[in-house]
Chain A
């Protein structure tokens, strides 16, 4: 029943866009950690990370803890984390656990990229 997490990483000028597919729970931790050493930053001077959860059907507290650890690492290493595609329910949960202290929520990739462009142009 558990749908193992898959990640699709697409670099863009100033950052990385990561699309997650499957379940975001404690079993996903190893997979997420295997694609990048988040504590060392995004590499090549990238300053923005977009996590697209549109194809994530299940997130539990362990999954949320994973997200927040990545976002905290970003704060230390100087990259901003954007989360998009989360359902209204999960957005509510993110606020409850304080994840929104570390990430910015956007409805989709496009909106997140618009915000990044604005940040890059100093708006």
Chain B
């Protein structure tokens, strides 16, 4: 028991350190040269593959011990040095979260409880509580890495919803605005759940965000990410790979370039018409370093929807074992009325699957791009605003006042007006003072985008950026004249739901996300 506890603690500590490193690396990626950021992501992926396997093996060894007549394992004094049971060959079986009890072999846990992925009924063994605690922490970290997506930019809207089968799931999704004219969307599925997914998902998101800013089309992006993953030679990866779909949307032209790597083919859907599936066949990432990926290019028709999903949607099984299947999804897409927002449609579909009360083995994720240009009555829903102010003391006040008025008019039900205005004012003040050094010839650019449930605000300056982790970690200056300096960043960290920094050829950018409290309630 002692050795298991030690191992579990070590695994948990390594895991937490890695995630903490990953979180730091994410922000550091904005400051690093792109190659260095990609290298950091690759390092994280390599560590993820190794460490996840190591920690999972410790759990699997413990799980393999014989059970007593009551189905529970005897309290063994020491963890054996050698595993008593062969390890899972493909790395898809991992520790479940949140339970320190052993379940009788073959008994499936209820859907509401945390479960393990793969075909077994693995549960967290007794004595691995520290690991479970660290995994719960990992869940929080992973949620931070995957902020909710409800993004409006010009005539386009991107919305994503995901529900996990295990507490730390293997689905990933993202939407990144590039130069305010292109939106990059990502959907994917890593092998396994639990510990391995907790490692892999943030690392892949870091790799994606790093690579997408280096430029190139989606096929090229997949190629670069594939070479990183294939280079790891991790057994779990080469066996099943990582499925990904990447789309780059030119917002003004309404043109989408999409490429998939072993991911279920997306749909294009118009209200009142049969949806059509785009052809996108290729190997998942990580299986063959030489794989070439193919792009599909199309132009949106007004009102058209581009629907990405993970296999958990299709393979979701009912109580009788019957899969949800493509036919039902296509029927739902065909029946999707023009006036039903994507978020509502997705929630309804996910709810309807859950109403079947089946044991759920896989995460289910949907990401939808809507294009509304030219559609009467819809464009007025889009809300966005930008400002450009010279870097002078007090420049944040005019932005704050106008933003407050706009929020009170259009987003008052969110309950976030004061938080948003405070954060934006602090970010603008920092940008003018620290980023641009109060140089009046340099400007601070502010962009605000509203969705139904989320607001995203970007504040960009022309400076070199800063290391926010170091700033946040720094203690208070005890000198009276300096006391209280640096609190702006602390307020941003406290008041936003999610924030990050990026840097590109135009300068440094603080990106802040706010969820509507109205929607949350």
Contacts and interface: CB of A to CB of B under 8 A. Distances in A.
A87 B421 CA distance: 14
B484 A97 contact: yes
A61 B487 contact: yes
A36 interface: no
Contact of A23 (B397, B429, B490): B397
B485 to A, nearest CB: 6
B400 A65 contact: no
Contact of B429 (A39, A62, A66, A98): A62
A35 interface: no
B394 interface: yes
B483 A97 contact: no
B422 A93 contact: yes
Interface string B366-403: 00000000000000000000000000011011101100
Q: Chain A interface: which size bin?
A: 20 to 34
Contacts of B490: 61, 96-97
B397 A61 contact: no
Contacts of A39: 480
Interface in B480-495: 480-481, 483-488, 490-491, 494-495
B480 A96 contact: no
Interface string A4-27: 000000000000000000010111
A73 B484 CA distance: 13
A61 B398 contact: no
Given A61-B491, A62-B429, A64-B487, A89 B480 contact: no
Contacts of B397: 1-2, 23, 25, 58
A54 interface: no
Main SS at interface, chain B: helix
Contact of A93 (B483, B486, B491): B491
A92 to B, nearest CB: 9
Contact of A89 (B419, B481, B483): B419
SS class, residues of chain A in contact with chain B: helix
Contact of A68 (B396, B422, B481, B484): B484
Interface string B252-276: 0000000000000000000000000
A81 B97 CA distance: 49
Nearest to A97: B487
Contacts of A58: 397, 400, 425
Nearest to B399: A1
A1 B400 CA distance: 10
B493 to A, nearest CB: 9
Interface of A: 1-2, 23, 25-27, 39, 58, 60-62, 64-66, 68-69, 72-73, 87, 89, 93, 96-98
Given A61-B426, A65-B487, A69-B480, 14 more contacts: A1-B398, A2-B397, A25-B397, A27-B394, A58-B425, A60-B429, A61-B486, A61-B490, A62-B484, A66-B484, A69-B483, A89-B418, A96-B490, A97-B490
Interface of B: 393-394, 396-398, 400-401, 418-419, 422, 425-426, 429, 476, 480-481, 483-488, 490-491, 494-495
21 contacts: A1-B401, A25-B394, A26-B429, A27-B394, A39-B480, A60-B488, A61-B429, A61-B487, A61-B488, A61-B491, A62-B429, A65-B483, A68-B483, A69-B480, A69-B484, A93-B422, A93-B491, A96-B490, A96-B494, A96-B495, A98-B476
